[in-house]
């Protein structure tokens, strides 16, 4: 809801229009020079904040300073690290990039703060400032009031049209946001005509009488990201491929998304960025998945797949006797020391002396049937020969044999859609003998600890690419360490090169070609299971007109053409 309010109250240098394109907003005109590394912006001169103060280059420079400063811990700081901003005049600014980056226009959709208000507030008090509840922006709507209940919880935020807005003024005079504790209360409010519009969280769908349905596409996807660093099993290509083959994505779409969304096979979403692109379809074949795992050494026990790990021994291979020295003697002494009746003093010196010889004799006498008789010896001689070595290799175990289960732990946020998805994956994988444990954590823990420390084997999570495709932050090997977002610890030098070319190229055909090449390599490596891209379903009462479905950067962008929405109509001559 915070993003929704920000979208309506604040303005950015650029914005998304009703077609999902990035277009100028506060900017009157701009030029791009120096091979795409320099952006010259001229601001509109008729823009004022809701308190009547003019918006100038000083406000832009202040906002960028806040974003770039580590003290303010901005979540978008990484996007601005290598950007140099320079004020040229009261309404002119120049941005210089280290490298060409066509998606920078989308970065410039940054909302601008009024410096005359926020410059007086320290970084420590920024998030606690009362201005967070009394925001002053320059957008099409301004805050009228916020209503709280006796417990201090916000129950509504009421906005009114800003009459001094610099661009096309909205037809709608006011918007009231109502806050509900859960989805049930939200739906009930719509059914009782208390609210006019709503969108439900992904994975929750309900048709409401007299409400129209709009499906918005967001360039995002949800996937199971494998972390081989935390799972020896997931280092094996066979296991990752088998998990892909054992995942029925169509069942997930039908049961989890109510059919509202798209199955995806890669993180490049080519059908979103280039409608008409052939849609990939990976194979769902649990039988083949099980065959692969069987060939990899897994066997079935009680309906579950396990891999038998043989016991490891010290593996004596050479004859040892009085006077021998070295590591083999050390290992011999360590083994004999495990038997208090054979080598009571347990000295480990690496030198085969009389005490070691006496211990070997006692060992040979203890296992006389297997050592002396098998070799035709009448008496123990204290020499570690073939029959003695054979018995030592049986009893000198350094690591016992064990059955290792094929078990995967899925970590996911406590989100209804993702938790249901994890449960369904658990059911699907169990059919071929894979055991699954689900570790559900709060979204705060996921972002602040789990992702930061890479504390997961398999992470069920989502990533948003933006209107301008830039998969670099999510799949380039340089982004494997936090704050990078390469959640699968993925590394492929060929993919790296392609991603670097994608983010510095503005030609659409070249972009698509490079993404197709990177896609083929990444699918072969199977660092993740790419699942789905849910639609954002927006429900609106039939009395509201002018809403158009289109591609949006995030849910708040459904308001990107709010100025064209209207309620009342009348016939005119």
Query: What is the C-alpha separation between 26 and 46, in angstroms, rounded?
Result: 10
Examine the pLDDT at 62 and tell me if it is beyond 90: yes
Where is pLDDT greater, at 504 or 160? Answer: 160
pLDDT of residue 311: 65
**By C-alpha distance, which of 230, 354, 282, 292 is closest to 523?**
282
Was domain 10-139 assigned CATH 3.90.76.10?
yes
Element (H, E) at 493: helix 493-502
Give 496's pLDDT tier (boundaries 50, 70, 90): very high
**By C-alpha distance, which of 464, 461, 426, 456 is closest to 443?**
461
For residue 161, count CB atoms less than 10 angstroms from its CB and return exposed for 0-12, middle for 13-18, buried for 19 or more. middle
Domain 312-399: top CATH class:
mainly alpha
Mean pLDDT, residues 309-329 taken together = 86
> What's the pLDDT tens digit per position in 205-244?
788 888 999 999 999 999 999 999 999 999 999 999 999 9
Question: How far apart, in Å, do the first and last CA atoms of the chain sit?
Answer: 41
- What pTM, to 2 d.p., does this model score? 0.80
pLDDT of residue 18: 81
Left, alpha or beta for 462 (phi > 0: left; psi -120 to 50: alpha)?
Answer: beta
| Residues 546 and 18: beta-carbon distance below 8 Å | no
pLDDT of residue 270: 85
> What's the pLDDT tens digit per position in 258-303?
998 999 999 998 888 887 777 677 789 999 999 999 999 999 998 9
Give 570's pLDDT tier (boundaries 50, 70, 90): low
Examine the pLDDT at 129 and tell me if it is beyond 90: no
**By C-alpha distance, which of 225, 206, 310, 209 is closest to 538?**
206
pLDDT of residue 85: 97
Query: What is the C-alpha separation between 374 and 439, in angstroms, rounded?
Result: 55
> What's the pLDDT tens digit per position in 66-96?
999 988 888 788 889 889 999 999 999 999 9
Residues 22-29: contacts with CB under 8 Å, at least 24 apart: 22/105, 22/106, 22/109, 22/467, 22/468, 25/109, 25/167, 26/55, 26/60, 26/112, 26/138, 27/108, 28/91
- Express as a percent the part of the chain with pLDDT over 90: 72
Give 123's pLDDT tier (boundaries 50, 70, 90): confident
Element (H, E) at 420: helix 416-430
pLDDT of residue 480: 94
Give 135's pLDDT tier (boundaries 50, 70, 90): very high
Mean pLDDT, residues 413-417 taken together = 93
Domain ranges of the chain: 10-139, 220-307+405-534, 312-399
Among 13-17, 36-40, 176-180, 373-377, the minimum mean pLDDT is found in 373-377
Give 127's pLDDT tier (boundaries 50, 70, 90): confident
- Express as a percent the part of the chain with pLDDT over 70: 98
Query: What is the C-alpha separation between 168 and 27, in angstroms, rounded?
Result: 15
| DSSP letters spanning 554-565 | SGGGGGTTGGG-
Handedness of CA 439, 444, 447, 453 (dihedral sign): negative
**Residue whose structure tokens are 């090997």:** 477
The tally of CA atoms less than 13 A away on the side-chain side of residue 196 is: 13
pLDDT of residue 207: 86
> What's the pLDDT tens digit per position in 358-380?
999 999 999 999 999 888 888 99
Give 458's pLDDT tier (boundaries 50, 70, 90): very high
Among 320-324, 363-367, 508-512, 561-565, the minimum mean pLDDT is found in 508-512
**Domain 220-307+405-534 adopts which CATH fold?**
Dipeptide-binding Protein; domain 3 (3.10.105)
Q: What is the rounded average pLDDT for all residues in the chain?
A: 92
- Could you give the angle at which helices 354-366 and 368-375 cross, rounded to 10 degrees? 90
């Amino acid at each position: 809801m915070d993003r929704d309010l920000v979208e309506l109250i604040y303005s950015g240098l650029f914005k998304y229009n009703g077609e999902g394109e990035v277009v100028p907003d506060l900017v009157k005109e701009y030029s791009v020079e120096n091979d795409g590394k320099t952006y010259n912006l001229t601001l509109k001169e008729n823009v004022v904040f809701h308190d009547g103060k003019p918006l100038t280059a000083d406000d832009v420079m202040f906002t960028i300073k806040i974003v770039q400063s580590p003290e303010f811990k901005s979540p978008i700081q990484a996007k601005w690290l290598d950007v140099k901003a320079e004020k040229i005049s009261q309404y002119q600014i120049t941005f210089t990039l280290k490298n060409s980056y066509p998606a920078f226009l989308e970065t410039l959709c940054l909302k601008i703060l009024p410096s005359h208000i926020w410059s007086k507030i320290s970084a420590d008090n920024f998030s606690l400032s009362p201005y967070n509840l009394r925001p002053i922006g320059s957008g099409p709507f301004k805050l009228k009031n916020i209503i709280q209940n006796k417990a201090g919880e916000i129950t509504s935020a009421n906005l009114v049209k800003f009459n001094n807005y610099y661009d096309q003024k909205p037809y709608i005079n006011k918007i009231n946001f109502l806050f509900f504790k859960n989805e049930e209360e939200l739906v009930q409010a719509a059914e009782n005509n208390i609210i006019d519009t709503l969108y439900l969280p992904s994975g929750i769908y309900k048709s409401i009488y007299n409400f129209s349905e709009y499906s918005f596409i967001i360039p995002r996807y949800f996937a199971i990201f494998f972390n081989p660093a935390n799972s020896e099993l997931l280092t094996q290509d066979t296991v990752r491929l088998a998990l892909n083959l054992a995942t029925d994505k169509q069942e997930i779409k039908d049961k989890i998304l109510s059919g509202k969304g798209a199955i995806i096979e890669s993180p490049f979403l080519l059908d979103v960025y280039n409608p008409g692109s052939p849609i990939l379809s990976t194979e769902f074949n649990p039988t083949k998945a099980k065959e692969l795992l069987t060939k990899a050494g897994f066997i079935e026990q009680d309906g579950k797949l396990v891999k038998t790990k043989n016991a490891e021994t010290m593996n004596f291979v050479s004859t040892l006797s009085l006077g021998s020295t070295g590591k083999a003697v050390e290992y011999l002494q360590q083994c004999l020391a495990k038997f208090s009746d054979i080598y009571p003093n347990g000295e480990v010196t690496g030198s085969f002396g009389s005490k070691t010889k006496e211990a070997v004799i006692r060992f040979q006498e203890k296992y006389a049937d297997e050592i002396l008789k098998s070799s035709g010896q009448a008496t123990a001689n204290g020499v570690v020969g073939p029959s003695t070595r054979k018995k030592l290799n049986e009893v000198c175990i350094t690591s016992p044999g064990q059955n290792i289960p094929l078990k995967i732990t899925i970590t996911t946020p406590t989100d209804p859609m993702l938790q249901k998805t994890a449960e369904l994956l658990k059911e699907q994988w169990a059919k071929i003998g894979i055991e699954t444990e689900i570790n559900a954590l709060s979204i705060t823990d996921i972002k602040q600890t789990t992702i930061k420390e890479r504390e997961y084997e398999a992470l069920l999570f989502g990533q948003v690419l933006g209107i301008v495709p830039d998969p670099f932050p999510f799949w380039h090997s340089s982004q494997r360490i936090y704050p990078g977002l390469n959640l699968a610890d993925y590394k492929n030098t060929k993919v790296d090169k392609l991603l670097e070319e994608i983010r510095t190229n503005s030609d659409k055909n070249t972009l698509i070609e490079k993404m197709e090449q990177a896609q083929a390599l990444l699918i072969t490596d199977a660092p993740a299971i790419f699942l789905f891209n849910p639609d954002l379903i927006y429900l609106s009462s039939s009395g509201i007109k002018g809403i158009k479905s289109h591609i949006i950067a995030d849910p708040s962008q459904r308001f990107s053409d709010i100025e064209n929405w209207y309620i009342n109509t009348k016939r005119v001559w």
